Structure 1
Amino acid sequence: MKGELRGVAISRGGIRINHLLFADDSVIFGRVSIAELKRIQGLLDIYGKALGKCLNEKKITIFLSSNTHWGVRTQIQQGAGVAICGSYEKYLRLPAVVGRSRYYTFRSLKERVWAKVNSWKNNFLSQAGKEILLKAVVQVIPTYSMSVFRLPIRLCKDISSVMSRFWWVHMKNDKRIQWRRELMQAKIGFGPSMIWRSLWYAISLIKEGVA
């Protein structure tokens, strides 16, 4: 059976993968042909007999390429005897297929952050309350995806922008806090106190944080 299952190539000229195992799930890759299907079924039968187990067809689905001819699709479905799913967009809440534009693939993260932040827009949140919500709720939203994928810089900036607007907008009149611009442009002056000198030296760090 060696070499009979070609699988899929990770990249052009790269190594090929014919299966992936994660937790209690198995993903098998193959060409869209009856011959390939029979080989995979044969391997699964050998595996089941060796372990004394049988496959649960209700938990098996087949995902075919979008350019698969409808006649071949029908043959595969009849030969396999299991359901064929029309789309395979998510697996464990993560995108199973990432297209050329990673930004549009993960844009839902920005939308979730925006929806969450807008649901908190009320007159009862203090600065401390907003800080807790941003750190404990909003920053957790992209963490799961970031543990697997490298998010586009553009998307990270958009998410940071949404969080910054929520942090700096005043609750009552939806206008930016007036002292922010004055602070950024302030001079150290003549004979400053120790407190003002310490604040003035930290303005550069504040500019980086709110940029």
Structure 2
Amino acid sequence: MYFSQNTDEEAKAEVFDSLNSMQDSQPKKYLGLPSLIGRSKKQVFNEIKERVGKKLSGWKEKLLSIGGREVLIKVVAQAVPTYTMGCFLLPKGLCEDLERMMRNFWWGQRHHESKIAWVSWSKMCKSKFEEGMGFRDLQAFNLAMLAKQGWGMMSHPSSLMARLYKARYFPNNDVLSANLGSNPSFAWRSIHQSLEVLKQGTNGG
């Protein structure tokens, strides 16, 4: 159980009494995700960049076909941040860094030499039916994953997650009409950023 620094000892004791064996702790991570996120979002999520970088670096020395590079980017490199993207909105700069690393790998960069990107990454992210490669636009994918959380709250309003967020941020409205609120958590701020995507989807836009 983690308590805010503003929680007084009497309130903590009351919660512990009701939860029996629960103890106070401040883990840096929970289920692989950071428990606390401060001002420097990029620094907190830098581990994702390091993990993707290590995988790409290991592949750069191998003679891979275009098909092989495509599979590795889609199945491995782009899958690394997926779990985190379902809970938090990654900084725009981090998404751009990850896409640059994947783009360089695709065009055959081995060490630190520059390679010409003959096609823009936005074009590469289009489907193959649109003459692209079907790679993910990480920022758009991130918003889609977060919109799924909002859809979950709409579809299952009696779930613990939906009831907690409703009590804290939109007690008198539904999730689509919710305001950001005062002093919101980073998780709610992330979901709130995706609500426009959800509105467009539910309105058939």
The TM-score normalised by the length of structure 1 is 0.50
The 5 Å alignment of 1:31-46 reads 33-44=8-19
* Larger relative contact order (Cα-Cα within 8 Å, sequence gap ≥ 6): 2
Cα pair 1:95 1:105 within 8 Å, conserved: yes
In the alignment, which residue of structure 1 is the partner of 2:200? none
Structure 1's unaligned 5+ residue stretches are 1-26, 45-54, 64-86, 185-205
Structure 1 residue 39, shift from structure 2 partner: 1.9
Give distance in 2, aligned partners of 1:145 and 1:42: 33
Give distance in 1, aligned partners of 2:108 and 2:86: 31
Give distance in 2, aligned partners of 1:163 and 1:96: 28
Write out per-residue CA displacement over residues 96-134 of structure 1, whole angstroms, 9 at most, x where no aligned residue.
101111111111101100001011123431111010000
In the alignment, which residue of structure 2 is the partner of 1:23? none
Write out per-residue CA displacement over residues 117-161 of structure 1, whole angstroms, 9 at most, x where no aligned residue.
011123431111010000000000011100110111000000001
Give distance in 1, aligned partners of 2:11 and 2:69: 56
Structure 2's unaligned 5+ residue stretches are 125-205
In the alignment, which residue of structure 2 is the partner of 1:93? 32
Q: Of the two, which has the highest radius of gyration?
A: 1
Higher helix share: 2
Q: 1:39 to 1:136 in 2, by over 3 A?
A: same
AA in 2 matched with 1:209: K
Structure 1 residue 35, shift from structure 2 partner: 2.5
Q: 1:150 to 1:121 in 2, by over 3 A?
A: same
Cα pair 1:169 1:176 within 8 Å, conserved: yes
In the alignment, which residue of structure 2 is the partner of 1:144? 83
> Number of residues paired by the alignment?
123
The alignment yields a C-alpha RMSD, in angstroms, of: 2.9
Structure 1 residue 171, shift from structure 2 partner: 6.0
Higher strand share: 1
The TM-score normalised by the length of structure 2 is 0.51
Structure 1 residue 33, shift from structure 2 partner: 4.4
Cα pair 2:73 2:102 within 8 Å, conserved: yes
3-state DSSP of counterpart to 2:88: coil
Give distance in 2, aligned partners of 1:36 and 1:100: 28
In the alignment, which residue of structure 2 is the partner of 1:14? none
3-state DSSP of counterpart to 1:115: helix
Q: 1:104 to 1:170 in 2, by over 3 A?
A: closer
List, as ranges, runs of 4+ consecutive aligned residues in structure 1 with deviation greater than 3 Å: 27-34, 170-175
Cα pair 1:130 1:167 within 8 Å, conserved: yes
User: For 1:117, which of 56, 63, 66 is the aligned residue?
Assistant: 56
AA in 2 matched with 1:42: D
In the alignment, which residue of structure 1 is the partner of 2:69? 130
Structure 1 residue 34, shift from structure 2 partner: 4.1
In the alignment, which residue of structure 2 is the partner of 1:209? 123
Give distance in 1, aligned partners of 2:110 and 2:2: 53
Write out per-residue CA displacement over residues 2-44 of structure 1, whole angstroms, 9 at most, x where no aligned residue.
xxxxxxxxxxxxxxxxxxxxxxxxx464655442343223333
Give distance in 2, aligned partners of 1:61 and 1:104: 29
The 5 Å alignment of 1:126-205 reads 126-169=65-108, 176=115
Give distance in 2, aligned partners of 1:125 and 1:140: 19
Percent of aligned positions that are identical: 34
